[in-house]
Amino acid sequence: MSVQKENIIDFIYAEAALIDERKFSEWLNLFAEDGLYWMPLEFGQQEERLTTSLMHEDKLMLTVRVERLHGERTFSQRPKSRCHHLLQRPEILHISKDTIKTRTAFHYTETRLDEQFFLVGWSEHTLRPADHSFHIVRKQVNLINPESAHRNIQLFV
Amino acid sequence: MTDTKPSITLRIANIHRVAPDIKAFTLKTLDKGKLPPHAPGSHIKIAISDKDTRSYSLLPLTGDDSAEDTCRIAVLLDQNSTGGSQFMHELSLRDNVTVSPPKNDFPLANTKNPSLLFAGGIGITPIYAMAKQLETADAEYTLHYAGRREGKLAFTDEINRLIGDKLHLHYDNQDSALNISDVLEAATKNTHIYVCGPKGMIVAVRRAAESIGFPMGQIHFELFNTPSTTKGDVPFEVEIADTGKVHTVPVGKTILDVLEEAGEELLYDCKHGDCGVCTTKVVSGEVDHRDVVLSDSEKAAGNLIQICVSRAKSKRLVLDLQPETQTKKITPKTNPKPTQKKNENNMKTIDLEWLVQPGGSEVHRDVFINQDVFEQEMKTVFRNTWVYVGHDSQAPNKGDFTTTTIGNQPVIMVRHSDNNIQVLLNRCPHKGVQLVNDPSGSTGQYFRCPYHAWSFKTDGSPLGIPFEKGYEETGFDTSCAKEGMCKVENVRNYRGFIFARLSPEGESFEDFFSGSLSSLDNMIDRSPEGRLEVVGAPLRYLHYCNWKMLVDNQTDTCHPMIAHESSAGTVKKLWEAAAGENTPKPMVVEIVLPFMSSYETFENMGIRTWDNGHGHTGVSWSIHSEYSDVEGYFGKMIKAYGKDRAQEILAETRHNTCYFPNMMIKGAIQTLRLFKPVAADKTIVESWIFRLVGAPDTFLERTAMYNRIINAPTSIVGHDDLEMYERAQEGLKVDANPWVNMQRHYHEDELGGERVHPGTSEVQMRNTYVSWAKYMGMGEDS
């Protein structure tokens, strides 16, 4: 298939919408089997393996998270959290036959009970065309304040 | 009215907690002025208000202090006092007090005759001074020092060092309890007897000595007792014989108080029924005697009264205010009263015996939710203990610094030009501006305040002030500002780990940690080079709960299989569904699965405790015991340590080691967590990781993974725990039950030294609160 820019942008918006709508299993299916979700702990952090990150999740760990969110005895999700992504139009950084890279600025809000917090930053997606859509090979979430003392971040930015 | 009015200004040069309720104060003259000479038994009066004074006996001095310009006193905090002892205990370093010249109403008769010294509780202060003089004179004497129970008496170590086995300690609750008659009967009849303590003790010594036949002139005493309202007190009337005026003496006031308020001219001194100055003739009425001045026969005769303490049994007393002959003694002080169980919401004074029940078996909710308790923790627990500040690898070069907090005190950890790590309080001595506020950085050779460019060397000493001549002849030379940055004197670099104790005096590093350092050693020894390095920034995680809930949870082995069922249990379920029999476990599975171990497994792994609130889970096995081997590592360890030692190091796979008050390490996976208190209901948790210098990177990869999987604000395991802490913080608002239960496997005498307990015992939590109460009781040191 020929990769249309419009399809890429729609895909990024749709990915965020699945999280906001708590369709976590469908969201998980967007990830390639070798997919990775990374949220560095330090601003500008390059090292992934030999230093602490906030998240560095392969598909197994993402699956654990999604299962847990649905679990009966997941007490930190009683009541459940909700979230919302406000995205800037994704910028396409690289496009080739088998790899696409994008940059998307976000305002992310997560809420539970009386508490609500904001996370701000940008996501970098690496996508691989698959069937009539894409697979996420890598989603890197860069917060502008990763080192801050955060509260529980329970869903997915 | 009295011959020794407060007229000398002294500055508090040192405050030292010498027993749970007792502070010792070192007082110095301003500008090295001279104090009048003073001998053992002397006291000074300190003005506690415009009208009121309190008398305190002088202690022997310590160190290089000279009696010419320095004196030392000790003050017992009377829990029920609203006067002198509270005033004194609220004083801070460098405060000024106004005192009378020293006066001696309790001198040593001589050093030639044998002497027998009795001290009860805080009554030790003049007796200690006497013992020192007798010791110096090589005199024949013994000192009997009595208290309610061990740990409450001040100066026992100091005195023991000075006089050795001439000191006999007596505790009311032990076999050693003081038997006054036995002691007196063994003494020769030429012995002079000195006693200072509560009223009951003085009366008992006087009676026994008189009945054995000691001449009255050889019995010397001074009373330490604050008369206070006694149960059953009722108001009564006092009539002045020559004027006929009648005054009512209410409960809580003395005859002296009432008559003085009414404008009567009165003679008095001690105000504690001990000096005899206020002795007044009774014309009619029945006296309720509460002094130690009058003899039993004088009391029975009923025609004299000490108006500063005694009351009436009849409805009216008629007094003749013409001055009586003056007699005897001086000196007051407070008397320890049994702490009362306070009612729920009345937390005016913090009653530790109430908050932490015996052995730490139950802990009152105020320990977690009361902000007053929190404020006191900051001034006591976090001042008197050795608190982890940072690791020296965070400041590898001279001038490198990190900023952090000890309790609520902002500090800078910096490598000084002499290559040692210094810990400085992070404020400019000028206006208070924080000199640096980056989490870490380099300041070069000096700190420069960004506000007015005052500069300081990296040991805090002053370097320069712009346009300094503006401070000439302003008194600046004696200001705090002139001293430079405040420096923490007690800093210890233990194999790279930096600890600091804010209080200038207290337990040594070794005494504080004792055997618990073996856990730190094991973490460090896992490096073939015996060295660790901090890697990266810490995870920082904000909790709206008390910091001690996190501490407790570190050794709570009955929660993982329940609270973490949602996280670890899900990993277990997914892994068991996906994996074949021989599928190698991914690292993440290896880390998380052991959280779902059974109660029995946790029970059998054991908990070890040490004194001062330190302890660890995982004595014989832990959730870190079965990590797979890393190629090439064991060979390096053998090369570094020899096979036996290497095996010994790696066989020790302790789980969580809690270092009181607020640090936890995992030696087997090289992580360190700090539970930083912010408020009673607010805590920031920092989670750090270390590289085993000289070991393969796989260890660091595992450590970094552990940290993010378990300790991050994005960690599902962390979410499980935080939910429990914050629900507890809310749940403790329930008035109907104010207690947090810690009784699992509790039994008396379970703590003391190094002990091993069943793995599901809540013993380490109890250990925490027993120590917490100990350090809370120490109070603010300086």
Q: Which residues from chain B sit within 8 angstroms of residue A119, using beta carbons?
A: none
For B669-681, give one letter per residue: b (16+ CB within 10 A) or e: bbbbbbbbbbebb
SS in 3 state form for B550-607? HHHHHCCCCCHHHHCCCCHHHHHHHHHHHCCCCCCCCHHHHHHHHHHCCHHHHHHHCE
Assess whether pLDDT exceeds 80 at residue B780.
no
> CB of A30 within 8 Å of any CB in chain B?
no
Using a CB-CB cut-off of 8 Å, the residues of chain A touching B697 are: 49-50
pLDDT at B426: 98
pLDDT at B323: 55
Instruction: Assess whether pLDDT exceeds 80 at residue B720.
Output: yes
- In chain B, the percentage of residues whose pLDDT exceeds 70 is 94
Answer yes or no: do B539 and A74 touch at CB < 8 A: no
Taking an 8 Å cut-off on Cβ atoms, the answer to whether A75 and B724 are in contact is yes
Does the structure show a pLDDT above 60 at B227?
no
Closest residue in B to A73 (Cα) is B566
Which residues, numbered 35 to 94 in chain A, qualify as contacts with chain B under a Cβ-Cβ cut-off of 8 Å?
A: 39, 41-42, 47, 49-56, 58, 60-61, 63-65, 67-68, 71, 73-76
> Quick one: closest CA in B to A157, which residue?
B714
Structure confidence at residue B638 (pLDDT) = 96
Query: What domains can you pick out in chain B, each with its CATH number?
Result: 8-104 (2.40.30.10), 115-223 (3.40.50.80), 236-320 (3.10.20.30), 387-494 (2.102.10.10), 507-734+759-777 (3.90.380.10)
Q: Tell me: pLDDT of B692 over 70.
A: yes
pLDDT in tens, B312-354: 999 999 999 875 433 333 333 233 333 334 344 444 467 888 8
Q: How confident is the model at residue B388 (pLDDT cuts 50, 70, 90)?
A: very high
Chain B residues in contact with A67 (beta carbon < 8 A) = 570, 573-574
- Which phi and psi (to 5°) does residue B265 adopt? -85, 120
In 3D, which of B546, B532, B573 has the Cα closest to residue B726?
B546
Tell me whether A10 touches chain B (CB under 8 Å): no
* B355 pLDDT tier (thresholds 50, 70, 90): very high
| Structure-derived torsion over alpha carbons of residues B631, B636, B641, B644, reported in degrees to the nearest 10 | 30
Q: Is the pLDDT of residue B215 over 90?
A: no
Query: From CA B229, how far away is CA B226, in angstroms rounded?
Result: 10
Q: Is B669 helix (H, G, I), strand (E, B) or coil?
A: coil
Q: Where does the pLDDT of residue A88 fall: very low under 50, low under 70, confident under 90, or very high at 90 and above?
A: very high
Question: According to the CATH classification, is domain A5-71+78-143 in 3.10.450.50?
Answer: yes
How far B566 CA sits from the closest chain A CA (Å)? 5
Q: What is the DSSP string of B259-316?
A: HHHTT-----S-SSS-S-TTEEEEEES-EE---SSS-HHHHHHT-EEETTT-EESSSE
- Mind telling me how many Å the CA of A73 is from chain B's nearest CA? 6
Residue of A nearest to B565 (CA): A73
Q: Is B641 helix (H, G, I), strand (E, B) or coil?
A: helix
A19-33, B115-129, B287-301, B490-504: segment of lowest average pLDDT: B287-301
Per-residue pLDDT averaged across B112-127, rounded? 92
Least Cα distance to B717 among B632, B580, B537, B594 occurs for: B594
What is the least distance, in Å, from the CA of B715 to any CA of chain A?
8
Q: Hey, where are the domains in chain A? A: 5-71+78-143
Distance from CA of A128 to the nearest CA of B (A): 25
DSSP A65-127: HHHHHH-TT-GGGSSPPEEEEEEPPPEEEEE-SS-EEEEEEEEEEEEETTEEEEEEEEEEEEE
Comparing alpha-carbon positions, the chain B residue that sits nearest to A39 is B714
Candidate from A60, A148, A150 with C-beta closest to B586:
A60
ipTM of model: 0.97
A82-96, B2-16, B51-65: the lowest-pLDDT one = B2-16
- Among partner residues B537, B588, B720, which is closest to A147 by beta-carbon distance? B537
> Tens digit of pLDDT for each residue in A89-134?
999 999 999 999 999 999 999 999 999 999 999 999 999 999 889 9
Q: How far apart are CA B2 and CA B267, in angstroms?
A: 8
- Nearest residue of chain A to residue B572 (CA atoms): A64
Average pLDDT, chain B: 90
What's residue B324's pLDDT? Answer: 43
From the list A42, A51, A68, the residue facing B570 with the nearest CB is: A68
Which pLDDT score is estimated for B4?
Answer: 61
Q: Which range, B114-123, B199-208, B245-254, B758-767, has the best average confidence (pLDDT)?
A: B758-767
pLDDT score, position B76? 87
Disruptive mutation site among A28, A34, A51 for chain B (greatest number of B CBs within 10 Å): A51
A131 burial level (CB within 10 Å; 0-12, 13-18, 19+): exposed
- Tell me the C-alpha distance between B212 and B49, whole Å: 44
pLDDT category of residue B51 using cuts at 50, 70 and 90: confident
Mean pLDDT of B759-780: 93
The pLDDT, as a whole number, for residue B213 is 85
Four-CA torsion B563, B564, B570, B573, nearest 10 degrees: -90
Of A52, A60, A64, nearest to B536 by CB-CB distance is A52
Using CB atoms, pick whichever of B539, B570, B708 lies closest to residue A67: B570
Q: Does A144 touch chain B (CB under 8 A)?
A: no
- Residue B139 reports pLDDT greater than 80: yes
Least CB-CB distance to A55: which of B540, B704, B708? B708
* pLDDT tier, B80 (very low <50, low <70, confident <90, very high otherwise): low
pLDDT computed for residue B475 by the predictor: 94
Q: Give the pLDDT of residue B228.
A: 57
pLDDT of residue A114: 96
Q: How far apart are CA B121 and CA B153, in angstroms?
A: 6
d(CA B663, CA B674): 5
Which residue of A36, A48, A54, A76 is the best one to mutate when testing the B interface, meaning the one whose CB has the most B CBs within 10 A? A76
Q: Which residues of B touch A (CB under 8 A)?
A: 439, 535-542, 563, 565-567, 569-571, 573-574, 586, 588, 684, 687, 689, 697, 700-701, 704-705, 707-709, 712-714, 716, 718-720, 722-724
Neighboring chain A residues of B567 at a CB cutoff of 8 Å: 64, 68
| End-to-end alpha carbon distance in chain A | 29
Lowest mean pLDDT among A70-79, B571-580, B747-756: B571-580
What distance in Å separates the CA atoms of residue B73 and residue B56, rounded to the nearest whole number?
A: 6
Q: Report the residue of A52, A53, A57, A153 to disrupt the B interface, i.e. the one with the largest count of B CBs within 10 Å.
A: A52
Model confidence at B26: pLDDT above 90: yes
Contact criterion met (CB below 8 Å) for A81 and A117:
no
Mean per-residue pLDDT, B461-482: 94
User: What's the rounded mean pLDDT across residues B37-43?
Assistant: 89
Pairing of strands B236-240, B316-320: parallel
CB-closest option in B566, B570, B713 to A151 = B713
Q: Give the one of A67, A68, A152 whose C-beta lies nearest to B713's C-beta.
A: A152
More confident residue, A15 or B620: A15
Percent of residues, chain B, with pLDDT higher than 90: 67
Query: What chain A residue is nearest to B535 in terms of C-alpha separation?
Result: A51
Q: Note the pLDDT of residue B206.
A: 85
A105 reaches B (C-beta below 8 A): no
B479 pLDDT more than 60 = yes
User: Residue A41: its pLDDT value, please?
Assistant: 98
Give the tokens for residue B341.
């169980």
Q: Which residues of B touch A75 (CB under 8 A)?
A: 563, 566, 720, 723-724
State how far Cα B227 lies from the chain centre: 27
Nearest-CA distance B708 → chain A (Å): 6
pLDDT in tens, B535-590: 999 999 999 999 999 999 999 999 999 999 999 999 999 998 888 778 888 999 99
When comparing pLDDT for B352 and B144, which is higher?
Answer: B144
